[in-house]
């Protein structure tokens, strides 16, 4: 049986090409792969790995490290690309002269901010670090959002969902007021207005309110992160539920358990109506 040696971080590991696993690992890792990446892909294929003393090393350790690094790299790249578009979008929005066009653009930005905030809240509640190992662990949660689910929702639906999670009635009231103004302008323009100058004026009013809301998003996000760092415990097991008394939730998430049950029920009804339709 052919054996190969790989040196990583001052340590030497012995691999073999049983069932062609080493060759497959090199191919999967790519032409420019580092020894660490080849070892990770070999580990993924459950290949035999021994340390310097000939002791067998349990599989998954190296692949798990590589998988997490790839995930983080992709997440950072995606985030940077999205943030770049976000910056360009805001610049374009500020230059737009038509209040009506600005309102439509701003609606997309506010929907994006709501979805981002929902995912931030979801992450704080549902993902935490455990002990010294700093392994990602998940607590069970009644509702799990996906990008496709949220991106398909209207602004009004997104506001409803945020209202269940966020304990800030004044902010939610502002969002609902904006949504009502926007609906009157974008959906009922021929019934509510006789002159386009009125549309322009109402659009400007909605845009001003939208700008206030966007400024408040920044404050709310900072407050949630700050309070969560201070008040949420770090000892959460993967089997815990949000209703467990051990889990401490800060004031932003008061009565969260009941609100989660409401949104779960709403989603189940929506899914039932969709399947019947």
Q: Would you state the pLDDT for residue 201?
A: 93
Q: Would you state the pLDDT for residue 177?
A: 96
Measured at the alpha carbon of residue 254, what is the angle toward residues 158 and 120, in degrees to the nearest 5?
A: 45
Which residue has tokens 């926007």? 182
The answer to whether residues 107 and 227 belong to one domain is: yes
| Beta-carbon count within 10 A of 211 CB | 13
pLDDT digits (tens, 9 = 90+) for 36-51: 999 999 999 989 999 9
The answer to whether residues 171 and 269 belong to one domain is: yes
The answer to whether residues 105 and 32 belong to one domain is: no
Cβ burial, residue 10 (10 Å; 0-12/13-18/19+): exposed
| Beta-carbon count within 10 A of 253 CB | 23
The answer to whether residues 7 and 122 belong to one domain is: no
Highest mean pLDDT: which of 41-55, 135-149, 240-254? 41-55
Whole-number Å distance between alpha carbons of 105 and 91: 11
Closest CA to 256 of 158, 167, 169, 159: 167
Highest mean pLDDT: which of 1-5, 118-122, 140-144, 170-174? 170-174
The answer to whether residues 170 and 223 belong to one domain is: yes
- pLDDT category at 247 given cuts 50, 70, 90 is very low
For 84, residues 6+ apart whose C-beta sits below 8 A from its C-beta are none
Average pLDDT, the chain: 77
The answer to whether residues 189 and 257 belong to one domain is: yes
- Give the number of domains in the chain: 2
The answer to whether residues 17 and 150 belong to one domain is: no
Please, are residues 249 and 232 in contact by the beta-carbon 8 Å criterion?
yes
pLDDT digits (tens, 9 = 90+) for 144-154: 567 777 888 89
pLDDT digits (tens, 9 = 90+) for 144-203: 567 777 888 899 999 988 887 777 789 999 999 999 999 999 888 888 888 989 999 999
The answer to whether residues 114 and 28 belong to one domain is: no
The answer to whether residues 42 and 135 belong to one domain is: no
Instruction: Indicate if the alpha-carbon torsion angle 185, 191, 192, 197 is positive or negative.
Output: positive
Quick one: how far is CA 141 from the chain centroid? 15
User: 127-130 and 135-138: which strand pairing?
Assistant: antiparallel
The answer to whether residues 57 and 105 belong to one domain is: no
Look up the domain containing 145 and give its range. Answer: 96-276
Whether the pLDDT of residue 234 is over 50: the answer is no
């Amino acid at each position: 049986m052919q054996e190969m040696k790989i040196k990583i971080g001052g340590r030497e590991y012995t691999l073999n090409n049983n069932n062609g696993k080493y060759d497959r690992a090199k191919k999967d890792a790519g032409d420019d792969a580092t020894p660490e990446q080849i070892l990770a892909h070999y580990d993924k294929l459950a290949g035999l790995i021994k340390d310097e003393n000939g002791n067998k090393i349990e599989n998954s350790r190296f692949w798990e490290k590589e998988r997490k690094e790839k995930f983080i790299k992709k997440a950072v790249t995606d985030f940077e690309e999205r943030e770049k578009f976000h910056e360009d979008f805001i610049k374009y929005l500020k230059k737009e002269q038509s209040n009506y066009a600005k309102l439509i653009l701003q609606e997309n930005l506010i929907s994006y901010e709501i979805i981002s905030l929902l995912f931030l809240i979801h992450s704080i509640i549902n993902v935490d670090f455990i002990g010294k190992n700093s392994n990602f662990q998940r607590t069970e949660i009644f509702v799990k959002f996906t990008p496709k689910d949220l991106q398909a929702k209207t602004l009004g639906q997104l506001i409803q969902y945020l209202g269940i999670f966020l304990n800030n009635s004044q902010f939610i009231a502002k969002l609902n007021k904006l949504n009502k103004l926007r609906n009157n302008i974008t959906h009922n323009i021929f019934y509510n207005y006789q002159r386009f100058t009125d549309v322009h004026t109402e659009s400007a009013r909605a845009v001003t309110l939208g700008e206030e809301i966007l400024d408040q998003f920044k404050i709310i996000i900072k407050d949630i992160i700050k309070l969560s760092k201070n008040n949420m415990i770090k000892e959460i097991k993967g089997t815990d539920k949000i209703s467990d008394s051990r889990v401490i939730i800060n004031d932003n998430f008061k009565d969260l358990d009941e609100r989660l049950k409401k949104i779960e029920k709403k989603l189940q009804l929506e899914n039932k109506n969709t399947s019947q339709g």
